[in-house]
Amino acid sequence: MIRDITIGQFFPGKSLIHKLDPRAKILLTILYIVSLFICRNFFSLILMLGFAIACVLISAISPGLIWKSLRSIIFIVLFTSALQLFYNNDGDVLWKPFEDHKFCITTGGVYSAVFLAVRIISLILFTSLLTYTTSPNMLTDAIERLLSPLKLFRIKVHSLAMMMTIALRFIPTLINEIDIIMSAQKARGASLDNGSIAKRMKAMTSVFIPLFVSAFRRAADLAVAMECRCYTDGANRTRLKVMRFSILDYLAFAVVILLCFAAIFTTYYHFSDSLLFKAVLK
């Protein structure tokens, strides 16, 4: 179970998306998220979803993996959609179970529930693509470079990036360790899977305390190993991979900016599809 976590994992490939400069990918992702929240109607939203799906296809990441990352958020999608369904009381009443109570489901509720679900799914599709197609180190490298202006305010950007690199590197190691500790504690008779939630939480301390102890030991070892490899504060480091924007990156920027404009255009120029949507429902 615990090994199924795929968020933040990198799947090497040779697609156009893989070849984009990681800095460009981060900026484009931000731009996409902004566009996604500009969208107010289905025309623009379908456009965004379509773009996300197209990018997934170009990236050649297997659909199984995409499904895995979507599956992990399905509960959140359902939950927020359900809330929308009941809280939005605009439009015509579709279902009113209690005569004397305000509680009801309306067309407006259904509309915003579906709208939100599509928005979250697009968001996850596109953002998970960033981590799937970019090696964690390139990602932190890119963040380091994008944040480098903060050096003016004496923020240690390199140290932050190094912390992220190491954190990402140790995720699989620590997940593996949790597995081992859980098995070891179960073998000693700990019941981690039964009982009330409070009881289970309490039982988990027997997993987390050894985990923390081991994590600190690893940290101490790693610090020595890094010193052995001449690591100081990272002030004058060079890099194996030099980042340079190519035509591909400029093209990608052009496409996403166009998409952003399309979203604004379809949102603010009369394409009011809630009417259309209501017609479909009736």
In the complex, the residues that contact another protein under the rule CB under 8 A are: 10, 12, 135-137, 165-166, 168-169, 172-173, 176, 217-218, 221-222, 224-232, 234, 236-242
If we measure between CA atoms, which residue out of 152, 138, 105 comes closest to residue 244?
138
Closest CB to another protein among residues 172, 195 = 172
State the residue for tokens 């940290």: 219
Q: How far is the CB of 173 from another protein (least distance, A)?
A: 6
Closest CB to another protein among residues 62, 173 = 173
Q: How far is the CB of 194 from another protein (least distance, A)?
A: 31
Q: How far is the CB of 162 from another protein (least distance, A)?
A: 9
Q: How far is the CB of 176 from another protein (least distance, A)?
A: 8
Closest CB to another protein among residues 178, 264 = 178
Q: b vs e for 233-271, b when ≥16 Cβ sit within 10 Å of the residue's Cβ?
A: eeeeeeeeeeeeeeeebeebbeebeebbebbeebbeeee
Closest CB to another protein among residues 96, 169 = 169
Closest CB to another protein among residues 90, 227 = 227
Q: How far is the CB of 165 from another protein (least distance, A)?
A: 6
